[in-house]
Chains A and B, each alone.
Chain A
Amino acid sequence: MMKNLLKILSGREAGIFVMIILFCAAVGLYKPHFLSLNSLRIILLLVPLIMIGAMAQMLVLVARHVDLSMGSMLGFSAMVAGLMYRDMPDIWWPIGFIVAIGVGTLLGLFNGLLVTIFNLPSIIVTLGTLNLYRGLTFIISDARQINRANIPSELKAMSQTSPVFGIPWIILMSFAIAILTFYIVRYTQLGRQIFALGSNPNAAPLRGINVTKVTLIVFCISGALSGLAGIMYASRWGFVNPSNTGMGFEFQVIAAVVIGGVSINGGVGTVLGTFLGVILLGCVAAALPLLGIPGTTQSAIYGSVILIALLIDRSVRQRTTARSTRSWRKK
């Protein structure tokens, strides 16, 4: 027990947790009202979409891939759902969830097929589909925005109303996704195979893992959760815009995930770490306006955070693999 506790305390998650505390304390010293329930609410409302995206991106990275097209998948799925709401105002509003998730899954499947059939690097494939899907969003929407009036009020209400403790639905949903991801990762065959694949892709087929299938599923999950994030975008912001919706989403997500200790070299990552990474990012985003730092710096901060996280990841990796460096010759 003691040993487990020590393991947790010395782990990456504890580090991020401490960083969150320190950051909040520092900001709180300067602007005491940062430490209030209200700002907690602001932080939490900032993160649900990123939370959902980060869970998916974590799985993708663990499997030694990357998905840059998430923001475009989010935008496209949201747009399809939005068009449906606009053109079929009488439709039962929860159908939008099914549509967005379904569309997202198909887009993710397309990514996965390109990666697996042609054996292409996922980063280039998704750089292509990032633009492809974004362009398609313009085409299907005729470059016009879906306005507030067209989004069902029940859907919008999900970002305001709450079943418990005043925590809005979308936040609860994002937490539910995190918990679900935890169970998939920890307790399903699939989850363990994703880790195995990322840990040693050459060994995976020798150990009976269907690499193609697992890769496809991972990209489908990425698409499905991007779709879910898309419909939640419509709920949260009340509109869907072909150019803004989901723009740069993948970068926020990647930033959160690498802060959370997911290795870009595959095989390593935890749901808790990812969760905390998202929260830390949310705290930073919430604190910036309070501290009078203009919103235009956000992107620079995300960028530098990714770079720093990469360097930390490397130093951690170096420490753990120092002993096995001599095996490089054997591939």
Chain B
Amino acid sequence: MDKILISTEGISKQFASVEVLSNVDLDLRTGEIHALLGENGAGKSTFAKILAGVHKPTKGIINLNDRKVEIASPIVAQELGIALIHQEPISFPHLSVAENLVMGRKGKGPLAWVNWSDMINEAQKHMHLLGVEIEVTRNMEGLSIADQQMVEIARAIASDAKLIIMDEPTAPLTPREVETLFGIARQLREEGRTIIFISHRLEEVRMICDRVTIFRDGEKISTSAIDEISDEEVIRLMIGRPLGKYMRKHNVAIGAKALSVSGLSLKGAFQDINFEIKKGEIVGVGGLVGAGRTDVARALFGITPADSGSIRVDDKLVQITNPSDAINLGIAYVPEDRAIAGIFRSLSVEHNLTAAIPNKIAPHAIIKSHKERAFAEESIDKLSVRLASINQPIVELSGGNQQKAILARWLHTDPKILILDEPTRGIDIGVKAEFYDMIGNLAESGRAILLISSELPELLALCDRILVMSEGQLTADIRRENASQELIMKAAVPRVASS
């Protein structure tokens, strides 16, 4: 039980001169379930990806069974018996489950014969061993996330993986599915395999893990047996810094109703959503990934409009069928995924900043450069965006400064209602603090703010009220005074299977 399977010495990783992981020494024992805990950006996923050959460490050594190994690629990792189960499982949707299970086996060469019946038998055997019922001849397309995870786990076992890394596997699962997954994880431990379990949900870690390692800001903080460490201690170690000091709630007078939503529904995304936000109020939205929070935001902003229900702005019934409707009504939306929905990578910072105010920079279709420049410089000043030149492509800025630029873009439209979707994801702590302050100031200036966030401390500290969504339903509306992590989590976890 105490034999060490894999150990790392001084693993560090830099991305474009930013150190995201520094000097991690960690031993993983044979037949243990080892939790990696930490906040977003703490380095736990990067560490896992280094073990799985997705990233190469900038420096450091990995020993497998006391032999030094170079894990140069996912293929090498697979040959060494290391498998990474991604949170969003990777698959070939048009290929059968059985093929997904064996695809990429080594050797043989391009003309090697594919023996379908052997392949199907093998796949069925592994599915059977896992105790899951998935027809292996069907296509991967249309399988639930949970089933796709099972296929990936079966795949790992089929290639006889000794170390299975699960990167936040439970986030998209229902409680019953989580139960099944944990059963399988325990079974794998019995078979002497090692499992790394990445999560930031402490109660799950307590349920199945033997030991826990805590990451913070790219460093390993501690490793200990799970029953030797208290929840308070874990949280203290995870947060570690007096973030509370930045997360100060500004005292703001709450004004009239700014936005109210009733009976809002979109098939397959969310049902019967009712809430309202007042001027100066910060309303948080908590919930698990995929609970429909972003879908509601997108509906409010007209990207994928709701198919029933009503939206009122300043107590007037409005129709929002596309983003420009929303913008005209004074709504702004800072999207969740900066790279995909926010920035224009190769365009200059200036052109990114002024993207939402075409009429202001070009009153008669022709762009007035001096006006545009004035707008851009004003916001760079106000939000203290750090850059080399206003003409440099925005992609060259750091994540936090990109995010500031997106926020600045929207502040130019002078929005009455500001929807922020995970605004502090993937940005460093210093800039985070600036953001918290900015959000407070925006509320102070009488704007209504809808803050979608997966970071509970953020919600608890900043918001006047916290809405919680679960499986497309609004499950709680908690006032600031009454809010607690437990209450939010309880409302966030799907109810169907809480038997």
Instruction: Name the interface residues of B109-147: CB closer than 8 Å to any CB of A.
Output: 109-114, 116, 141-142
B336 interfacial contact with A, CB 8 Å: yes
Give the contacting residue for B112; candidates A189, A217, A321, A327; CB below 8 A. A189
Give the contacting residue for A320; candidates B141, B336, B337; CB below 8 A. B141
Contact A268 B94 (CB under 8 A): yes
| C-alpha gap A267/B74 in the complex (Å) | 23
Give the contacting residue for B90; candidates A206, A217, A329; CB below 8 A. A206
| Count of residues in B whose CB is under 8 Å from the partner chain | 35
Say which one of B99-107, B183-191, B198-206 lies at the interface with A.
B99-107
Contacts of A190 in B (CB 8 A): 110-111
Given A208-B74, A326-B268, A331-B340, CB of A203 within 8 Å of CB of B108: no
B461 interfacial contact with A, CB 8 Å: no
Contacts of B108 in A (CB 8 A): 189
Chain A interface residue count: which class? 20 to 34
A192 interfacial contact with B, CB 8 Å: yes
B357 interfacial contact with A, CB 8 Å: no
Contact B112 A188 (CB under 8 A): yes
| C-alpha gap A84/B295 in the complex (Å) | 66
Minimum Cβ distance to chain B for residue A315 (Å): 16
| C-alpha gap A326/B293 in the complex (Å) | 12
Contact B114 A192 (CB under 8 A): yes
Contact B95 A199 (CB under 8 A): yes
Give the contacting residue for A209; candidates B93, B103, B112; CB below 8 A. B103
B88 interfacial contact with A, CB 8 Å: yes
| C-alpha gap A205/B90 in the complex (Å) | 11
Give the contacting residue for B142; candidates A193, A196, A320; CB below 8 A. A320
Determine the main DSSP class of A at the interface with B.
helix
Minimum Cβ distance to chain A for residue B150 (Å): 17
Contact A192 B141 (CB under 8 A): no
Contact A326 B269 (CB under 8 A): yes
| C-alpha gap A191/B111 in the complex (Å) | 8
Contact A186 B110 (CB under 8 A): no
Instruction: Name the interface residues of A167-224: CB closer than 8 Å to any CB of B.
Output: 186-193, 195-196, 198-200, 202-203, 205-209, 213-214, 217
| C-alpha gap A71/B172 in the complex (Å) | 49
B40 interfacial contact with A, CB 8 Å: no
B322 interfacial contact with A, CB 8 Å: no
Contacts of A213 in B (CB 8 A): 110
A10 interfacial contact with B, CB 8 Å: no
Given A199-B95, A207-B104, CB of A330 within 8 Å of CB of B110: no
Give the contacting residue for A188; candidates B74, B103, B111; CB below 8 A. B111
A324 interfacial contact with B, CB 8 Å: yes
**Residue among A195, A207, A321 with the highest chain B CB neighbour number at 10 A:** A207
Contact B109 A200 (CB under 8 A): no
Contacts of B109 in A (CB 8 A): 189
Contact B75 A208 (CB under 8 A): yes
B275 interfacial contact with A, CB 8 Å: no
Contacts of B141 in A (CB 8 A): 320-321, 324
| C-alpha gap A258/B92 in the complex (Å) | 21
| C-alpha gap A214/B109 in the complex (Å) | 11
Which residue on A lies nearest to B75, using beta carbons? A208
Give the contacting residue for A208; candidates B78, B93, B269, B290; CB below 8 A. B78
Minimum Cβ distance to chain B for residue A64 (Å): 11
Contacts of B103 in A (CB 8 A): 192-193, 196, 207-209
Contact with B along A225-238 (1 / 0, CB 8 A): 00000000000000
Give the contacting residue for B88; candidates A191, A321, A330; CB below 8 A. A330
B223 interfacial contact with A, CB 8 Å: no
Instruction: Name the interface residues of B282-320: CB closer than 8 Å to any CB of A.
Output: 290, 294-295
| C-alpha gap A189/B109 in the complex (Å) | 7
Give the contacting residue for B92; candidates A199, A321, A331; CB below 8 A. A199
| C-alpha gap A188/B112 in the complex (Å) | 5
| C-alpha gap A213/B268 in the complex (Å) | 41
| C-alpha gap A62/B141 in the complex (Å) | 16
Contact B114 A199 (CB under 8 A): no
Minimum Cβ distance to chain B for residue A263 (Å): 9
| C-alpha gap A208/B72 in the complex (Å) | 12
Contacts of A326 in B (CB 8 A): 268-269, 290, 295
Contacts of B295 in A (CB 8 A): 326
| C-alpha gap A320/B269 in the complex (Å) | 18
Contacts of A188 in B (CB 8 A): 110-114
Which residue on A lies nearest to B144, using beta carbons? A323
| C-alpha gap A192/B74 in the complex (Å) | 20
Contact A189 B95 (CB under 8 A): no
Instruction: Name the interface residues of A100-156: CB closer than 8 Å to any CB of B.
Output: none
| C-alpha gap A196/B91 in the complex (Å) | 9
| C-alpha gap A267/B93 in the complex (Å) | 8
Give the contacting residue for B336; candidates A189, A207, A329; CB below 8 A. A329
Contact A200 B340 (CB under 8 A): no
B: residues with CB less than 8 A from A are 54, 74-75, 78, 88, 90-95, 99, 103-106, 108-114, 116, 141-142, 268-269, 290, 294-295, 336-337, 340-341
CB<8 Å pairs between A and B, sample of 30: A189-B108, A189-B109, A189-B110, A189-B112, A191-B114, A192-B95, A192-B114, A193-B110, A195-B95, A196-B99, A196-B103, A200-B91, A200-B92, A200-B93, A203-B90, A205-B74, A206-B74, A207-B90, A207-B92, A207-B103, A208-B74, A208-B78, A208-B105, A208-B106, A217-B110, A320-B141, A324-B141, A326-B269, A327-B88, A329-B336
List 14 extra interface pairs beyond A324-B142, A329-B294, CB under 8 A. Answer: A188-B114, A189-B109, A189-B110, A189-B111, A195-B94, A196-B99, A198-B94, A199-B93, A200-B92, A203-B91, A267-B94, A320-B141, A326-B295, A327-B88
